[in-house]
Amino acid sequence: MKLVRFNQLDPAYPSSFSGMIDKLFNESFGNGEIRKFSPAVDISEDEQGFEIQVAVPGMKKQDFHVDLTEGRLTISGERKIEEKKEGKNYHSIETQYGAFSRSFYVPDNVVSEKIDASYEDGVLKIILPKAEKKVLKSAIEVK
């Protein structure tokens, strides 16, 4: 007996004939292809700037590539599956592996020289500080 998670809507079992054909061709001809996934991303904003949090547990900080080109921030990397089996017989693997790339357009008010990235507890955090607002003089003296 093996332990398998029950899920009626499991994508491993297509619900239509066309889904079954798609699965057949994608798995048959995609063997040499690099597996890809899309990690969960949270984006928040406050008065100081924007914060992007990417959920990618099990990686090292050197596995990420963060690039800002022509106003587009691209976060990419690859999470490799461990080949160590040593007596383990996996019945289910739900963790996502493979290459990923997520891109975001950065607003004009972000100071690109001060963007900071850190990785801790499985979350890549990128801080995009906003430029300081210039205070305009509101009262004009009439002469």
- Per-residue pLDDT tens over the stretch 8-66: 455 555 666 666 666 666 554 544 455 778 889 999 999 899 999 999 988 899 999 99
Q: How far apart are CA 139 and CA 137, in angstroms?
A: 6
The SS3 call for residue 124 is strand
SS3 content of the chain, % helix, strand, coil (to 5): 15, 35, 50
Sequence letter at residue 37: F
Sketch out the chain's domains with CATH numbers: 34-82+93-129 (2.60.40.790)
CA atoms within 13 A on the CB side of 134: 3
Reported confidence tier of residue 132, pLDDT bands at 50, 70, 90: confident
The predicted-structure confidence for 72-127, as pLDDT tens digits, reads as follows 899 999 888 776 667 777 777 777 788 899 999 988 889 999 999 999 999 999 99
The SS3 call for residue 25 is helix
pTM over the 0.85 mark: no
